[in-house]
């Protein structure tokens, strides 16, 4: 199978992450020559790339480095035509505890990628944003004109990264497109995210501990998010744009949990856990995506329904060894 990126050399930063590993797979199937930039560690652990099929992994050039180090990043960017920048610190609760780390990784790391891309004449950079940059919705569905709100150190750091990317487009003529996915879920996502933590508790316990049940989220299956990245990397007329990616369908966390209990045939009880509640002024109460601009410019739309995506995620988690600490709160 080949696509518009066939034969082109591309770089994925954060390739060992949840979305990054799925994007690497999709790019290999597109026929791209993929270089995967993963966070260096002494164990030579490649993160979720370890779970990629062997025939796909054999087609990937893996480079270990540090996104905060400009020399490391420059070496990874050299020779690539397109850069998908996904490397980031992503845990919202942890950003309350270590805000400086988020600035250094998400803002300065993005600066390193953009500057390396400029110096090496990269054709296009896809900057990864997040729906958290919108904060609690002032109106729904949320389009790209919605004001940005730094309601957590994480979201503030991503706003900063997006604005650095915008400046490189406006002042340095770098071909940057910012993709703003809403809540992505699917196989390989860690227990720090709401869907896998609900599934794990439903499968292996008699209680499902959650924080607030009222917030509304718009969930997109990970293969659809990967397709959105490829769409904005290959479409005309998207350079300089910020584009939302989401389903346009919202569900409360409480209803999501009840749906997962039904799909897993679990009789577990929903239990409120105060430890999992965000600070009141930091909680984002409603995220509902308007992806009309992305659809208009690229033709992208989600293909996987929430029920189908949850069933695939449940099946994947059932195939794994039970998590020993499923009831611990993963920050």
Q: Quote the mean pLDDT of the chain.
A: 93
Average pLDDT estimate for 218-228: 98
Average pLDDT estimate for 153-173: 97
**52 inside domain:** yes
pLDDT tens, residue by residue, 13-34: 999 999 999 999 999 999 999 9
**48 inside domain:** yes
pLDDT-derived band at 155 (thresholds 50, 70, 90) equals very high
Quote the DSSP letter at residue 128: E
pLDDT tens, residue by residue, 34-48: 999 999 998 988 999
**Is the model's pLDDT at 73 over the cut of 50?**
yes
**Is the model's pLDDT at 277 over the cut of 60?**
no
pLDDT tens, residue by residue, 132-145: 999 989 999 999 99
Per-residue pLDDT at 72: 97
Average pLDDT estimate for 307-313: 98
**150 inside domain:** yes
Per-residue pLDDT at 324: 46
**16 inside domain:** yes
Per-residue pLDDT at 323: 54
Q: Rounded to an integer, what distance in angstroms lies between the CA atom of residue 144 and that of residue 165?
A: 16
Q: Rounded to an integer, what distance in angstroms lies between the CA atom of residue 291 and that of residue 182?
A: 10
Q: Rounded to an integer, what distance in angstroms lies between the CA atom of residue 20 and that of residue 126?
A: 12
**296 inside domain:** no
Its pTM stands at 0.94
Which H or E run contains 244?
strand 242-245
Number of independent structural domains in the chain: 1
**191 inside domain:** no
Q: Rounded to an integer, what distance in angstroms lies between the CA atom of residue 245 and that of residue 283?
A: 21
CA angle 298–168–17, rounded 5-degree value: 65
Q: Rounded to an integer, what distance in angstroms lies between the CA atom of residue 299 and that of residue 328?
A: 41
As given in the structure block, the two tokens for residue 60 are 């990937």
For 125, phi then psi, to 5°, come to: -115, 130
**pLDDT > 70: what percent of the chain?**
93
pLDDT-derived band at 299 (thresholds 50, 70, 90) equals very high
**200 inside domain:** no
Per the structure, the complete domain to which residue 174 belongs is given by: 9-185+221-245
Which H or E run contains 272?
strand 269-272
As given in the structure block, the two tokens for residue 46 are 């490649």
SS3 286: strand
What CATH code is carried by the domain that includes residue 175? Answer: 3.40.50.720
**Is the model's pLDDT at 246 over the cut of 90?**
yes
Average pLDDT estimate for 95-123: 97
**Is the model's pLDDT at 219 over the cut of 60?**
yes
Per-residue pLDDT at 170: 98
Per-residue pLDDT at 134: 95
Average pLDDT estimate for 263-288: 76
**pLDDT > 90: what percent of the chain?**
82
**74 inside domain:** yes
As given in the structure block, the two tokens for residue 113 are 């990628």
């Amino acid at each position: 199978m080949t696509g518009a990126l066939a034969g082109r050399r591309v770089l994925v930063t954060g390739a060992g992450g949840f979305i990054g590993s799925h994007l690497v797979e999709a790019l290999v199937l597109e026929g791209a020559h993929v270089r995967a930039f993963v966070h260096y560690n002494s164990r030579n652990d490649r993160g979720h790339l370890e779970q990629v099929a062997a025939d796909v992994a054999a087609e990937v050039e893996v480079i270990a480095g540090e996104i905060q180090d400009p020399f490391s990043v420059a070496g990874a960017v050299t020779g690539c035509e397109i850069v998908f920048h996904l490397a980031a610190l992503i845990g919202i609760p942890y950003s309350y505890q270590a805000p400086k780390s988020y600035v250094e990784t998400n803002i300065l790391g993005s600066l390193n990628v953009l500057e390396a891309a400029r110096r090496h004449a990269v054709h296009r950079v896809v900057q990864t944003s997040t729906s958290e940059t919108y904060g609690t919705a002032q109106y729904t569905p949320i389009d790209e004109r919605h004001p940005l709100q730094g309601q957590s150190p994480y979201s503030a750091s991503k706003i900063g990264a997006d604005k650095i990317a915008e400046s490189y487009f406006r002042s340095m003529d770098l071909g940057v497109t910012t993709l703003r996915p809403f809540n992505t879920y699917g196989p390989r996502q860690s227990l720090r995210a709401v869907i896998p933590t609900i599934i794990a508790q439903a499968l292996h316990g008699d209680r499902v501990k959650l924080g607030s049940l009222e917030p509304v989220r718009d969930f997109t299956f990970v293969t659809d998010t990967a397709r959105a990245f490829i769409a904005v990397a290959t479409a005309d007329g998207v350079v300089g744009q910020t584009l939302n990616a989401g389903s346009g369908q919202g569900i409360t966390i409480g209803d999501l949990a009840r749906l997962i209990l039904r799909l897993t045939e679990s009789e577990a009880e929903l239990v409120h856990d105060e430890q999992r509640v965000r600070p009141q002024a930091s909680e984002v109460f409603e995220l509902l995506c308007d992806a009309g601009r992305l659809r208009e410019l690229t033709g992208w739309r989600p293909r996987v329904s929430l029920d189908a995506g949850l069933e695939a995620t449940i099946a994947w988690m059932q195939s794994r060894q039970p998590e020993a600490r499923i009831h611990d709160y993963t920050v």
